[in-house]
Amino acid sequence: MEIQLDEGALLAELAPLLDAPRCRAGLRNLAGDPFFVAFFLTSVSQGEGLGEAAVGMIGQDELAARIRDLPKQEREERGHKERTIDAARDLFPEWFAGDAYRFPDALQGRTYYVEVLERNRERLRAEGRYSRLNLYLTTTFAYEIMVLLLYRAVADAVRSSPLPAPVRDRVVRVIDGILEEEEGHVGVVGQHAALLETPRGDLSRDAEDLLDALAELELRDYRIPAEMAVRAVVSMMERYCDPVAYRAEIEASARAA
C-alpha cells in the first residue's frame, strides 16, 4: 500500500504533547542542571548507538542494501553518538570516571529504545502486519519524529537556562547539529515507497515475503508508533519535575550495581 503521510502535519499534531505543564517543568529542570544535562547527553549517545545498529533487525541484506540513504544515516547516527558523549565528558567530567559515565544503569537511551520497539512489535503482531522490515521502518519513523520534537524542545530550554554561556552554546550546537541532519533525511515514508518499487526478478523468496508484508502496512502503522514514542518521552521528561528524587534515583543506581 502506498503511504501518504504529511510528516510536517504529524509533527504539528504531536508537538502540543510536549507543551503539557509537567513536561515543560521537567524540561526546564533538565536544562538548568548540569547533572541532568550530562545525563541527557549520555542517554542520547546510548540511544543513537542503538539506532546506528538498528538495520540489523531487518536480517535481510538484499533489502537493507536497497534502503535509500541508509549508509549515510548510519554514519550520521555514529557521529551523533560520538558528539554527544564527547560533549558530556568535556563539559561535565565530574560525572565520568575516565571515559565511563558513573551511572550507566540509569541511562534512558536503551530503556526508551527497547520500550518503544517492543510495544510496536506487539501491536504489529496483534494486527497481522508484523515483519522484520515493517518493524524497522515503522519504529525508525517513530524515533525520528520523537527526535525532531524532543531535541528541539531541549535545545530551546537550554538556550534560556541559567547554565554558563560556554556550556549552553556547546550543548545547543550539538543538539542543533543532530536536528539539522535529521531534517535532511530522505524520510522513512520515502524509503517505504522506494522499496515497494524494487524489481523482484533477482530477489530471494525471503526478500519477496518481506516486500509482500510491507505492502500490507497502513498509514496508522506509522502514526501510532510515532505518537507512542512522543508520549513515552513526555513521561520521561515529567520525571524531572521532582529533580531531587530523580537525581537520588540515578545516583543510587551506581550503589546498587
Q: Any idea which of 55-69, 142-156, 225-239 has the lowest mean pLDDT? A: 55-69
| Bigger pLDDT: 147 vs 49 | 147
Distance between CA 142 and CA 134 in Å, rounded? 12
In a domain, 61, yes or no: yes
Q: CA 103, 37, 26: angle at the middle one, nearest 5?
A: 105
pLDDT (mean) for 79-97:
94
pLDDT at 257 over 60: no
pLDDT at 186 over 70: no
Using DSSP's 3-state secondary structure scheme, residue 203 falls into: coil
In a domain, 5, yes or no: no
Question: What is the pLDDT at residue 102?
Answer: 96
In a domain, 10, yes or no: no
Torsion of CA 249, 250, 254, 257, to 10 degrees: 70
Question: What is the pLDDT at residue 184?
Answer: 56
Distance between CA 14 and CA 86 in Å, rounded? 31
In a domain, 181, yes or no: yes
Q: Which domain holds residue 210?
A: 21-256
Cβ-proximal residues to 120 (8 Å cutoff; 6+ apart), any chain: 135, 138, 139, 142, 224, 225, 228
Distance between CA 101 and CA 108 in Å, rounded? 13
Cβ-proximal residues to 208 (8 Å cutoff; 6+ apart), any chain: 200
Question: What is the pLDDT at residue 56?
Answer: 63
Question: What is the pLDDT at residue 4?
Answer: 84
In a domain, 233, yes or no: yes
Q: CA 21, 230, 66: angle at the middle one, nearest 5?
A: 160
Question: What is the pLDDT at residue 69?
Answer: 63
| Bigger pLDDT: 81 vs 37 | 37
Question: What is the pLDDT at residue 197?
Answer: 87
pLDDT at 27 over 90: yes
pLDDT band at 120 (very low <50, low <70, confident <90, very high): very high
> Domain with 142 in it: what CATH number?
1.20.1260
In a domain, 6, yes or no: no
pLDDT at 78 over 90: no
**pLDDT tens, position by position, 234-247:** 999 999 999 999 99
In a domain, 8, yes or no: no
Q: 148 vs 71, 81, 176, 228, 231, CA distance in Å? A: 20, 16, 10, 15, 14
pLDDT at 50 over 70: yes
Question: What is the pLDDT at residue 217?
Answer: 95
Q: Among candidates 72, 63, 74, which has minimal Cα distance to 194?
A: 63
In a domain, 120, yes or no: yes
Counted domains in the chain: 1
| Bigger pLDDT: 50 vs 51 | 50
Question: What is the pLDDT at residue 163?
Answer: 97
pLDDT at 54 over 70: no
| Bigger pLDDT: 204 vs 63 | 204
pLDDT cut 70: percent of the chain above it: 91
